Amino acid sequence: MDRLVTFMDSGRPVVLVTGGAGYIGAHTAKALAEANFLPVVFDNLSSGFREAVRWGPFCHGDIRDADAVAAALDAYPVAAVVHFAGLIEVGRSVTRPDLFWDVNVTGTGRLLSALAARRVPRLVFSSSAAVYGSAGRTALETIPETAAKDPASPYGDTKLAGERLIQAHCRAYGLSAVVLRYFNAAGADPSGLIGEAHEPETHLLPLAIAAAMGDGPALTIFGDDFDTPDGTCLRDYIHVTDLAAAHVAAVRAALAPGAFEAINVGTGFGCSVRDVIRTVGAAVGSPVPTVQGPRRTGDPASLVANPARAQTLLGWRATCSALDRIVTDAVRWESQPAYGAGRRQRQPELRSQFAA
């Protein structure tokens, strides 16, 4: 564990960021530091990167390890926890539901027990639009928080179970919690210091950029026969900087003890797969090579937020999530030799996934 003396002396409120070495976690740690909090990152580095921990101390540990969680909470005067640590790949959750329930639900339970024992008052939880079902909704309808919960994957099931466990802790122990249901996080910090780096990468935007840069195979478009304006899926792409700002607002929100709030984090506008492909081609200066493939199992035609509640409850709305801005920032990140494409080229085992 890093030494904390200089940070403790700074007098800034401490926020423990589990999973803070990952994509959204690192951007949130930066936003917290800029808002005058001290982000302490707790991460097992199974998918995050040590070099993404730049804005506060680092505790190496697994969220399921009660002793490691307790050690981090006892080492710092934690005022709030932002909980990202978890598994995210929808496809892998289908083949390894046991692992997803263990990390995402048991891990969240361990964290909650440790928070209750120490009376930590505030939790912000990384949830997902994956908790919603798609039945009975047309492609052009946005999703309010009250929409039916009917996850299409074990990943979505674990996020919903995590939410319910948190809500029960709010009632039982007076914790106040905000669960943020993300739509499609995308883009990179404009500084170019941090960005999206999943291994393996399955998300549309980085794959499209890699293809346009000649650093990956042609992009497979998963289905063109959806009931949407151009036949490809609609998603609500939210700039990771906007998403990070929503977490800061949730940490600061005035909530009574025991309050539990679930809030969509999106823009309210849907972009199609073809919109993303066109925008990436323009930003890279070279078209995205594509091949048409069948639908991917579990992909709903449309996932677009109704973000009104975020504005009302958190005073938050997206300000930098225009698609061309998201893409420009992502391309800047992917173009750097030290990150993005450069990192893929230096890692043969990673590159082989792109050659498949």
The footprint of ligand UFG (CB under 6 A) covers 88, 90, 128-130, 183-184, 202-204, 207, 219-222, 233, 235, 273, 296, 299, 303
Helical spans, DSSP H, in 22-84: 23-34, 66-75
Smallest distance from ligand UFG to CB 238, Å: 9
Question: Which residues contact residue 287 at a Cβ distance below 8 angstroms, ignoring those fewer than 6 apart?
Answer: 212, 281
Least Å from the CB of residue 293 to ligand UFG: 7
Residue nearest to ligand UFG (CB): 233
CA 320-321-322 angle, to 5 degrees, is: 100
Task: Write down the least CB distance from residue 170 to ligand UFG, Å.
Answer: 23
Active-site hit among 23, 76, 132, 155? 155
For residues 82 and 129, which CB has a smaller minimum distance to ligand UFG in the complex? Answer: 129
Bridge partners, 260 (sequence order): 177
| Phi and psi angles of residue 186, each rounded to the nearest 5 degrees, phi first | -160, 165
Task: Based on the residue annotation, tell me whether 132 is a catalytic residue of this protein.
Answer: no
Decide whether 61 or 206 has the Cβ nearer to ligand UFG.
Answer: 206
347 DSSP 8-state letter: -
Best CA proximity match to 329, nearest among 244, 232, 230, 235: 244
Nearer to ligand UFG, 222 or 269 (CB): 222
Query: Rounded to the nearest whole angstrom, what is the least distance from the CB of residue 291 to ligand UFG in the complex?
Result: 10
- Do the bridges between strand 234-235 and strand 271-272 make them parallel or antiparallel, or are there none, so unpaired? antiparallel
Nearer to ligand UFG, 215 or 299 (CB): 299
End-to-end CA distance of the chain: 39
Give the residue numbers marked as catalytic.
155
